[in-house]
């Protein structure tokens, strides 16, 4: 369904002294129809940038993305409009998703009208009621304004609105991190139900390893713009092989145990034992924080398959 090849994104900041920052660095991955690929990594490692670049919401700096064999970056305006309907994104902050001055009904009707997906008002209403039912809401929610709904209800309505476009690929960028734990489970269940019903592919971004493990078939661990480990979600959660993935999993367990699920993840310096090593240009960027680093780590590690479908980018593995 989705094929990402050597994707890079460089941000240029500063007006007079231009600085370049590689937020996504040579990422390749595939997501099959009906499959969920989870994406984890510390704040700022490039998860959202990767997602937005795949969807061409921001321009890439290199690489290619294919949506069902169609080259997303080469698509003209007409083609792109079609692809855009099929690839959707759900963000973390549900409160910004809907126009605060429109009743929910009109927000849900908007994409149907724009794309002429319903013939007449009766059919429109029927489709909207059907969408609502699929996300576990009722007609009474339609006459409300966004501020009269809970975060969980809004996230379900976002999903309903997206579903009206019959998407085949959805990026969920921390869709439930602003919700209560009890509501999270309900919303995640709806994500799963809808995936089963329509065979949708998900790229599911989250800080919560338990959620990723539960939601995903495979998962990818990102560090400083690169995928350092990718493979079956269960296997990576139980037995991570990259030193960064290991420290992430350990930190998650410890923090979850001591401080509850919403605890911050550790800062980088705490993640590994570290030896004050310098990052050598082109070498492994985790080496300065890695207790196993050796001279071999001065050369760039490449993703190597260590078990069926399980890849790790570490010279020590």
Contact criterion met (CB below 8 Å) for 82 and 69: no
Smallest separation (angstroms) from ligand ATP to the CB of 12: 8
Q: Does 27 bind ligand ATP (CB under 6 A)?
A: no
Q: Does 44 bind ligand ATP (CB under 6 A)?
A: yes
Name which of ligand ATP, Mg ion, none residue 288 binds, using a CB cut-off of 5 to 8 Å depending on partner kind. none
Assigned token pair, 225 = 């713009």
Smallest separation (angstroms) from ligand ATP to the CB of 116: 34
Distance CA(209)–CA(81), nearest Å, equals 34
Choose which of 49, 88, 184, 246 interacts with ligand ATP (CB under 6 A).
49
Neighbours of 192 (CB within 10 A): 13
Smallest separation (angstroms) from ligand ATP to the CB of 173: 7
Q: Does 14 bind ligand ATP (CB under 6 A)?
A: no
Nearest to 208 by CA among 247, 239, 244, 253: 253
Q: Which helix (H) or strand (E) holds 65?
A: strand 62-67
Smallest separation (angstroms) from ligand ATP to the CB of 89: 12
Q: Does 226 bind ligand ATP (CB under 6 A)?
A: no
Q: Does 48 bind Mg ion (CB under 5 A)?
A: yes
Nearer to Mg ion, 86 or 93 (CB): 93
CA 73 remoteness from chain centre? 19
Q: Does 251 bind ligand ATP (CB under 6 A)?
A: no
Please give the radius of gyration of the chain, using alpha carbons only, rounded to the nearest integer. 21
Q: Does 38 bind ligand ATP (CB under 6 A)?
A: no
Distance CA(139)–CA(101), nearest Å, equals 19
Start-end of H helices in 55-102: 77-86
Choose which of 6, 20, 33, 43 interacts with ligand ATP (CB under 6 A).
43
Give the binding range for ligand ATP (CB under 6 A) out of 38-46, 122-130, 144-152, 161-169: 38-46
CA dihedral 14, 15, 18, 24 (to 10 degrees): 50
Residues near ligand ATP (CB under 6 A)? 11, 13, 21, 23, 41, 43-49
């Amino acid at each position: 369904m989705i094929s990402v090849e050597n994707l890079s994104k460089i941000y240029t900041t500063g007006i007079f002294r231009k600085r370049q920052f590689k937020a996504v660095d040579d990422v390749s991955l595939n997501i099959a129809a009906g499959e969920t690929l989870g994406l984890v990594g510390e704040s700022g490692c490039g998860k959202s940038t990767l997602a937005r670049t795949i969807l061409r919401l921001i321009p890439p700096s290199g690489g290619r993305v294919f949506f069902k064999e169609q080259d997303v970056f080469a698509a003209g305006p007409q083609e792109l409009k079609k692809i855009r309907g099929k690839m959707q994104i759900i963000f973390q902050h549900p409160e910004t998703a809907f126009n605060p001055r429109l009743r929910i009904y009109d927000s849900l009707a908007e994409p149907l009208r724009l794309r002429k997906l319903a013939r007449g008002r009766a059919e429109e209403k029927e489709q909207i009621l059907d969408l609502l039912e699929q996300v576990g809401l009722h007609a009474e929610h339609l006459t409300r304004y966004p501020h009269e709904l809970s975060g969980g209800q809004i996230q379900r309505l976002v999903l309903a609105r997206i579903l009206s476009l019959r998407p085949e690929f959805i990026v969920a960028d921390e869709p439930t991190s602003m919700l209560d734990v009890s509501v999270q489970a309900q919303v995640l269940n709806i994500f799963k139900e809808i995936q089963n019903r329509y065979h949708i592919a998900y790229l599911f971004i989250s800080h919560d390893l338990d959620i990723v493990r539960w939601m995903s078939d495979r998962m990818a661990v990102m560090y400083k713009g690169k995928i350092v480990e990718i493979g079956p979600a269960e296997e990576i959660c139980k037995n991570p092989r990259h030193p960064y993935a290991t420290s992430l999993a350990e930190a998650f367990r410890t923090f979850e145990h001591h401080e509850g699920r919403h605890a911050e993840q550790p800062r980088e310096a705490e993640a590994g034992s570290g030896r004050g090593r310098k990052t050598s240009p082109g070498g492994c960027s985790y080496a300065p924080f890695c207790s196993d680093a050796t001279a071999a780590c001065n050369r760039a590690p490449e993703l190597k398959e260590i078990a069926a479908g399980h890849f790790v980018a570490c010279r020590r593995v």
